[in-house]
Amino acid sequence: MVRMTMLVPKIDVELCVGCGACEDVCPDVFELQDDGLSHVIDATACSECECQEAADSCPTEAITFAEE
């Protein structure tokens, strides 16, 4: 059986400054939480840009992609 892999967004918490830009672009995927940092709440929820726009909007390049 061939298994499809997909790239899912990850956040480097050491780099995230909690600006909220990723949540603005992909609110189904990213959420600012009580710790002041953004978290991935549903990595596969972006149907628009696969979160590339969110990654591009991040000022600290905290968003990377990894195979699920």
Binding residues for ligand SF4 (CB under 6 A):
11, 16-22, 30, 38, 57-60, 62-63
Pick 4 or 55: Cβ nearer ligand SF4: 55
Question: Left if phi > 0, otherwise alpha if psi is -120 to 50, otherwise beta: which for 21?
Answer: alpha
| Least distance between ligand SF4 and beta carbon 54 (Å) | 7
| Least distance between ligand SF4 and beta carbon 12 (Å) | 8
Query: Which are the contacts of 35, defined by CB distance < 8 A and separation ≥ 6?
Result: none
| Contact between 8 and 44 (Cβ < 8 Å) | yes
Pick 6 or 64: Cβ nearer ligand SF4: 64
